[in-house]
Structure formats: C-alpha cells, structure tokens
Amino acid sequence: MELTQKQIDDFHEQGWLFLPELFGPEEVALMKREAESIYSEHRPEVWREKNGAPRTAFAAHTYNETFRILGSHPRLVRPVEQIFGEQLYMHQFKINAKAAFTGEVWQWHQDYGTWKRDDGMPNPRAMNISVFLDEVMTINGPLLLVPKSHNAGDLKAGHDLETTSYPLWTLDNDTVTRLVDDGGIVAPTGKAGGVLMFHGNLVHGSSGNITPYPRKIVYLTLNAVSNHITKPTRPEFIAHQDFTPIEPVADDALVQHARSMKQAAE
Amino acid sequence: MELTQKQIDDFHEQGWLFLPELFGPEEVALMKREAESIYSEHRPEVWREKNGAPRTAFAAHTYNETFRILGSHPRLVRPVEQIFGEQLYMHQFKINAKAAFTGEVWQWHQDYGTWKRDDGMPNPRAMNISVFLDEVMTINGPLLLVPKSHNAGDLKAGHDLETTSYPLWTLDNDTVTRLVDDGGIVAPTGKAGGVLMFHGNLVHGSSGNITPYPRKIVYLTLNAVSNHITKPTRPEFIAHQDFTPIEPVADDALVQHARSMKQAAE
C-alpha cells in the first residue's frame, strides 16, 4: 500500500483523501462483530450518549486483538509514514458509533485544537484516519469536511461542554461560514471498508443520525514520533503516552485472525 | 400545469412526487425576501427554536400578499385537484426555516396522524406540498421520506413534547425500521423553486442542520373540501376552519406581484 504522487498532492491541497473499500468484507465483518462486542461492555473506555446508546469506545487497540492488528495495519500506517516522512505512534484510537436513530451531532471543530490545548502536541503532524465499519451514506450522519480549511492554522475555539456528552473545542459560526465560502463542504460516502484520511487542522463535524442505519467508524490518530505530546491532561486511554514507533503487521493479518477465530469457534 | 398519468401513477405507488424548479428565480427571490421579513416579526404565528432562531411561521397566506398568492397558485392547486378529483381548501400553511447551524431535527412521523388526532380530519385526503425557498442539499437537513409507507395506514404514534419546540406525534423505532426495510429512504434534493408533494400518511422526518446553508421550505397542506376537519383543537392559525374552495390565481401572479413591488420601491 503506497500513495501515488497525485494522492499526496491532493491531500496537501484539499486536506483529505478517501480510499474506497481499502478493507474487504471478511475484514469488515470481523471488525463490526468486535466493535459491537466492545460496545456491550461496561468499562471506562466506553462512553455513551445521553440516552445510554454507545457513542465512543476508546483505546480498543489495547484490549482487543482485532483492533490491536488494525492499529498496526500497513494499509493505514504506510501512507501516513509517506506523508510525514517518519515513524508513527498511536495518539488516540476510538470507535465512534453514531447509533441508528439516536446518534448525536458533532459540532464543527479541528482535532488539533484539542490535541494542542489538552495534550500539549507541538505541531499538527498527526493524521486522522477513519475506517468505515458500516456504509456511510448522505443520510446517516456522514462526516462533513471543509476542504482546504487545514491551511487556516489553529483557529480560535470555545469549549463546548453542553451540546453532547463529549467535551469539544468548537468553532464559531462566522469562522465556519468564512471557511465554507472558500472551500465548500464535502461528505465522503462509501461502503464499509472505506478509509478517509484527513489533516489534524481540517474543520469537520457531523449531523445527528435519525435513520435506522448505524454508522460505526474507527478513528485512529497516528502522530509522528518526533511530535509526541508533552503536557497530557487527559486519561491515558484518551491521549496515549506510549510513544513507541508502530511496527506494521502483515497485510493479511486481519484476515488470518478472522480465520483463526472461526476455526477456534468450530 | 397538469400532471401526466405517469406522475400520478408514481405518486400512488411511491407516495411522493418531486417537480424540480417549478418556480423561477424571480418568484423564489420574492418569496425568500418575504419569508425573512416574516421571521423578523414577533407575532404568535412565528415559532422559534430553543435558541430563538425561527423554526416555523404559520398562516403567512393570511397576512402576507406574496404567500396569499402562493396559497392559491395553480401550479400547486391544479395537480392536487387532479389527484383528489375535487376542489381544495387550505388546511395548514407554514414556512419552516431549518436555520443554518441551529436547525433542529423533526422526528419520524406521519402528518395525517396529527390532522386526525388533533383536528378531526376524517380521511388522509390532504396533500403536503413543500416549496423549496433555498437549495435543498444532502447536507443541510433535507426531508427524508420512506417511500411506500403511505400504504401502511394510520400508525400508532406517541406524543413527543420534549425533543424540540414543536409537539409531534412520532413513530417508534421498530415501526420505522420495518417500513425502511421495505421502502428505503429517499432525500429529494434540488434548487430553490422545486416542489415536493407527498401523501399525508407518508412517513418522513429530517435531521438537524449544522451547515451555514439555511433550508427554508414553505409547506402547504391542501385538503379536499369534502374532507374538512370536524373537531379542531388547535388554534385557527395552525388548523384552518375556513373551508372555502380555493380559486386559483393567474399563473404569472407571483411574477406580476414581484414587479409591482419593485416599481413601488423605485
């Protein structure tokens, strides 16, 4: 898995890159099963909406073998190494549910704003990677991105502690309007197994989900090792402090794991 | 303006019909201006979101000349007369804002459920007509329809008084899932001036709007005169009790009105 020069240029210009169906049906089925299993657990890493539906499961790569493999997967790690030109560690890992009927909004924000303010990350040299576990459609609360907004730098933000159950540094309406006037809004959609990479300063948000279609996404934040955080204030399971460079697993590691689990069950 | 037999058949099968750009730019510009002007008024017919942004302006056809004309417009009245085979009166008229950034959700519901329970409407022989005053996109909270659900009859519903500032008889998740399994979900989108007609029993809802793009829609509910309501419990400006048949205006009445307003302003 290697990005083409065109893909790299696109990423630098637009701030995002979509790779459709990077994972196959067998890999997706395994990850979906394991995500559901994690959501059913009651543990501090699993956060819920106000109504009790799962919203986010943090750090699943530290307690689940499937997601341990995903967190070191070469199809995710190699492209980001290409872009940053160095090795990476896992800054954050979460599985966002955007549950059917009840998935709540994420207000407009830049992720680097939080990494800088709450974790002391020196530069926006960390990449967001979202792996679709369900089909992302226009109607089930897709991620909305503002192309080119990654060039706007670290924007002034307010700490929203009220809108949803997750505290977030969010942008004001005038700022969002200005950036959207320039770059528009895109909502990358695609089948389960697709992968969306976007810059730490890219402005994004998502609407709620009132449809019967859930929209689970795994988010990895891969940070350049030289850019490791310096002033962590959040729990270790939200902003990791293990800066060991990731050694990618074999490309077929998820498939092999799915088959070994199947064999064990038979 | 007359529907083709194919359009009438489609309506009966799917429960909805979309007529793109039925009104032209001059007519749309007039209606947008007048809607904004109404939203800025403080009167009992103008309802607001929890944050004060406009949500709905009722009965504008009774106090605004532009919307009086729209409420008797042949491009809206004639097609519905074709479908019901008789003359119509205005059961409800509202301008829904779905404001930029703050527009709230409408949970899944059938409109006839409310007309029957709250107004005593004998049969679902009233038509919803939505006239787009802004471009409706996939990202700014389009109306979501469940095709074919108009055949499900009058479904059991619960009175939701909490989710938003507007009381609504809403459907439970199992019912919506069952209907969506059968008919899917469509989100008709299009430029301002488009018109969407849908059956009083068609299940529909809409997500919130977090984008900078407002999404104003005029909703007319045209009821067959013989089907007039019998047990009104809501204010006259929400469920009208004037059952006089609508006599359509001239097809160019909105354009003429726009020009006369422009002349008067010069």
pLDDT (0 to 100) of residue B140: 94
Q: Tell me the mean pLDDT in the region A13-24.
A: 97
Whether the predicted pLDDT of A159 surpasses 80: no
- pTM attached to this predicted model: 0.88
Q: How many residues does chain B have?
A: 266
B209 vs A contacts (CB less than 8 Å): 207
Fold type of domain A5-265: Jelly Rolls (2.60.120)
Q: Which residues of B touch A (CB under 8 A)?
A: 100-101, 105, 107-108, 138-139, 141, 144, 173, 176-177, 180-181, 185, 187, 205-212
Q: How many CA atoms lie within 13 A of A97 on its CB side?
A: 26
Q: Tell me the mean pLDDT in the region A193-213.
A: 95
The pLDDT tens digits of the residues spanning B62-77 come to: 999 999 999 999 999 9
B181 vs A contacts (CB less than 8 Å): 212
pLDDT (0 to 100) of residue A54: 86
Closest CA relative to residue B96, chosen from B225, B222, B205, B248: B205
Asked whether the CA dihedral A247, A251, A256, A257 is positive or negative, the reply is positive
The pLDDT tens digits of the residues spanning A67-119 come to: 999 999 999 999 999 999 999 999 999 999 888 888 888 899 999 999 999 99
Question: What is the rounded CA–CA span in Å between residue A73 and residue A67?
Answer: 9
Predicted confidence band of residue A164 (pLDDT cuts 50, 70, 90): low
User: Are A260 and A254 in contact, with CB atoms under 8 Å apart?
Assistant: no
For the CA atoms of A224, A225, A226, A230, what is the dihedral angle to 10 degrees? Answer: 100
Task: Classify each residue of B59-87 as buried b or exposed e, where b means 16 or more C-beta atoms within 10 Å of its C-beta.
Answer: bbbbebebbbbbbbbbbbbebbbebbeeb
Nearest chain B residue to A142 by CA: give it. B139
Predicted confidence band of residue B163 (pLDDT cuts 50, 70, 90): low
Closest CA relative to residue A28, chosen from A254, A252, A189: A254
pLDDT (0 to 100) of residue A165: 60
A145 vs B contacts (CB less than 8 Å): none
pLDDT (0 to 100) of residue B1: 75
The DSSP 8-state label assigned to residue B244 in this structure reads P
What does the domain layout of chain A look like in residue ranges?
A: 5-265
Q: Tokens 């730098």 — which residue?
A: A153
Predicted confidence band of residue B241 (pLDDT cuts 50, 70, 90): very high
pLDDT (0 to 100) of residue B164: 62
Q: Among A38-52, B71-85, B159-173, which is the least confidently predicted range?
A: B159-173
The pLDDT tens digits of the residues spanning A215-243 come to: 999 999 999 999 999 999 999 999 999 99
**DSSP per residue over B26-56, as a string?**
HHHHHHHHHHHHHHTS--TTEEE-TTS-EEE
Q: Locate A157 and state its tokens.
A: 């933000």
Nearest chain A residue to B140 by CA: give it. A207
Query: Is residue A9 helix, strand or coil?
Result: helix
pLDDT (0 to 100) of residue B54: 86
User: Are A108 and A176 in contact, with CB atoms under 8 Å apart?
Assistant: yes
Q: Among B139-143, B160-164, B180-184, which is the least confidently predicted range?
A: B160-164
The pLDDT tens digits of the residues spanning B106-118 come to: 899 999 999 999 9
